[in-house]
């Protein structure tokens, strides 16, 4: 069997068909990238406001109108495993996963759905036409406790119990699960970035 470059010399019509097709495919892949680059450098006739600007304007309204925990947060995650090893008689705790400030979210009142009080939007993916709801919070009690549903897909979720420290603007959520002889503890920490008191 002859190498491919020799075969293309034998059949020049293949090159004439494949080359334009390859160029069209490569051009189509970069159209989306070109569009986003044009949008960044596009000159508009009117002043533009993006979603993050609107969100900050909403959060700057008087604090009495909103819950104290509404805002923009940096999220960190820590997972620990606690239990006895195969041949060990002592219980040990080990950090199995840690992500510091791995995403930025906004927590705002849900005015669209009567069955949930507050929603969490992931806002660290740039400017998008729409934003996915990544979680739901219930109203915090007087003791600053709430239930949080972390949405995995449309109908799948994981529940956390959250506390809110108003003086520092920190939300902390904990969930535990058992797996064999180990207990896994998943902890989410939200540090408020905006608005600051």
pLDDT (tens, 9 = 90+) of the chain, 197 residues, equals 555 554 545 566 666 666 666 666 566 556 656 666 665 666 665 556 677 777 877 777 765 556 678 899 999 999 999 998 777 788 999 999 999 999 999 998 887 877 888 889 888 877 777 788 899 998 778 778 899 999 887 778 999 999 999 889 999 999 999 998 899 999 999 999 988 76
Q: Check whether residue 95 and residue 185 sit in a common domain.
A: yes
Q: Check whether residue 34 and residue 56 sit in a common domain.
A: no
pTM, two decimals, is: 0.71
Q: Check whether residue 8 and residue 62 sit in a common domain.
A: no
**Which 3 state secondary structure label does DSSP give 185?**
strand
Q: Check whether residue 35 and residue 90 sit in a common domain.
A: no
Q: Check whether residue 85 and residue 15 sit in a common domain.
A: no
Q: Check whether residue 101 and residue 34 sit in a common domain.
A: no
Nearest 5°: phi and psi at 175?
Answer: -140, 135
Q: Is the dihedral of CA 23, 24, 29, 32 positive or negative?
A: positive
Residue 46 falls within a domain, yes or no? no
Q: Check whether residue 106 and residue 83 sit in a common domain.
A: yes
Strand 170-179 and strand 157-165: pairing? antiparallel
Q: Check whether residue 36 and residue 57 sit in a common domain.
A: no
Residue whose structure tokens are 């051009």: 27
Strand 157-165 and strand 133-137: pairing? unpaired
Q: Check whether residue 79 and residue 23 sit in a common domain.
A: no
Identify the DSSP state of 60.
T
Domain extent for 15: 4-41
Q: Check whether residue 8 and residue 102 sit in a common domain.
A: no
Query: How crowded is residue 120: how many other Cβ atoms within 10 Å of its Cβ?
Result: 23
The count of residues in the chain is 197
Residue 160 falls within a domain, yes or no? yes
Q: Check whether residue 28 and residue 98 sit in a common domain.
A: no
Residue 180 falls within a domain, yes or no? yes
Contact call for residues 125 and 108 (beta carbons, < 8 A): no
Contact call for residues 75 and 104 (beta carbons, < 8 A): yes
Q: How many domains are contained in the chain?
A: 2
Q: Check whether residue 64 and residue 135 sit in a common domain.
A: yes
């Amino acid at each position: 069997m002859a190498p491919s470059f020799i075969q293309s010399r034998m059949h020049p019509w293949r090159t004439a068909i494949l080359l334009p097709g390859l160029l069209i495919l490569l051009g189509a892949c970069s159209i989306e990238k070109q569009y986003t680059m044009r949008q960044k450098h596009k000159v508009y006739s009117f002043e533009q406001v993006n979603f993050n600007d609107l969100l900050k304007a909403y959060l700057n309204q008087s604090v009495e109108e909103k819950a104290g925990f509404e805002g923009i947060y940096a999220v960190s995650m820590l997972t620990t495993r606690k239990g006895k090893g195969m041949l060990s008689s002592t219980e040990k705790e080990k950090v199995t996963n840690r992500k510091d400030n791995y995403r930025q979210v906004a927590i705002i009142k849900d005015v669209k759905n009567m069955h949930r009080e507050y929603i969490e939007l992931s806002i660290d993916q740039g400017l998008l036409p729409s934003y996915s709801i990544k979680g739901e919070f219930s109203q915090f009690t007087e003791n600053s406790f709430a239930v949080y549903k972390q949405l995995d897909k449309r109908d799948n979720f994981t529940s956390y119990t959250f506390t809110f420290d108003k003086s520092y603007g920190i939300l902390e959520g904990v969930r535990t699960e058992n797996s064999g002889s180990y207990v896994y503890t998943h902890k989410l920490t939200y540090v408020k970035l905006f608005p600051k008191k």
